[in-house]
Chains A and B, each alone.
Chain A
Amino acid sequence: MSPATRYQTGSEIPDVPAPPVTHETLRAYALASGDGNTIHLDDSAARAAGLPGVIAHGMLVAAWVSDRAAQTAQEINDEAVAAGKTNYVIASFSTRFKAMTFPGEAIQVGGRVKSLNDQECVLEISARSLGGEVKCAGVFRLRAAT
């Protein structure tokens, strides 16, 4: 008898809150990522570039989406191993940047399992404002480890 599995094709990946977006968060990410573009750090530089103020790095939001995918993949792998199947490893992913994220915005991250079979696992995960505006949409392709 195999234990009930939580994840299958179509399963929901529940929303979790992303870390808060603050000027401090953006400064820390600029340092760690090496992306020192001033539109993420300095309001006057952002305004000079035609923006209302500093915006979050797209790749910071993409990191939150990717972390949600990687944590979900870990849970799926735990289930696969418990069922005597091979685990999945990341093969490729894409993130599309749909809207800018501003300091103070609350972001949530979740999605669904697009497909899950013996060969591959595809996760669709996005970051959205509480109002439902999609900021970043990710598609993650994992393949069964060989």
Chain B
Amino acid sequence: MSSKLTSVKGRGAVRRLQTEISVRAPIDRVWSAITDAQQVKHWWAEGQIGAQVGDPIVMENGAALNGTIVVMLAPYIFEFTWHDAPAESSEPQWLEHRTKSLVRFDLVELGDAETLATLTQYSPVIVAVGAAAGWDHLFQRLAEYLHTGQVKEEVGRFERLKQRYAEQES
């Protein structure tokens, strides 16, 4: 399994995060694993995911996601906002724009049973370290889910990843 760190680019208030993983699964299988809430709950969190552009996407995990689907072009591109409304007054101004807290998955078919999944997120700098570590953690879980049909809980992995990013940033 890839241990490549999520790339974190930019200066100022905003960072662009990107990570990718190649999984041994057909593209349609990966598409359903990232867009069907009944599957997403195994590697990410419980939640609801709408079926089309304009529908809500809600995840009941730590960094509560409550956004809107903006692009859904099966089986290639799935994109959504993280928040539709300002979450907390302490957050940077840009996060209050619904279009600016963006998460995009795109999928590329590498073979009949091999797919490249790429994640891109624009993130405020204050949460970038946690988000980068979070995507590494989640992509490893996604690959494990696709390869084995289940995910073993690995206590402390997210915290270790976060520590690596914090060291890299400083």
User: Is chain B found bound to chain A in the same assembly?
Assistant: no
Q: List B residues at the A interface (Cβ < 8 Å).
A: none
Q: List A residues at the B interface (Cβ < 8 Å).
A: none
